[in-house]
Amino acid sequence: MSLTFIETNKLPKKPSTGAGEVTEVLNQALCGAKNVHGSLRWLKSAETFKADAAGKHQLIYLMDGKGSIRLNDKAYDVEKGGGVYLGPTESASIQAANGASLKLFHLVVPPIPK
């Protein structure tokens, strides 16, 4: 098994209207990853990222900052180290707190066909 080092600080951040900035850090082009996609996302105060249900497993981990995660119409306060797992039919929205910012790691794994 080979090891690939990706200097994420050198990867370009892309603006995402109303949903902060994002950069892909794990995919087939970067490191040969199959059936998985990973990205870093930065949200400023009041920006919201919506992780829609799309038939895939998702893990969203809060690397830095504080804000709230909305699940099933209920908001939960979260800080660095918090996160959420979303099954293929689940969705969530994550918002940075007023005056705060967030750094998220978003891992997406589609169901593997049998």
Q: Give the separation between CA 85 and CA 83, rounded to whole angstroms.
A: 7
DSSP state of 13: P
The pLDDT tens digits of the residues spanning 5-54 come to 667 677 778 888 878 999 887 677 767 677 777 889 999 998 999 999 88
- The domain locations on the chain are 19-74+81-103
| Residue 13: predicted pLDDT | 85
Residues 55-77, mean pLDDT to the nearest whole number? 93
DSSP state of 36: -
pTM: 0.83
Residue 61 tokens, joined:
């981990």
* β-bridge mates for residue 39, sequence order: 24, 106
Of 43, 49, 50, 85, the closest CA to residue 66 belongs to 43
| Residue 60: predicted pLDDT | 94
φ, ψ at 30 (rounded to 5°) = -75, -40
| Residue 6: predicted pLDDT | 64
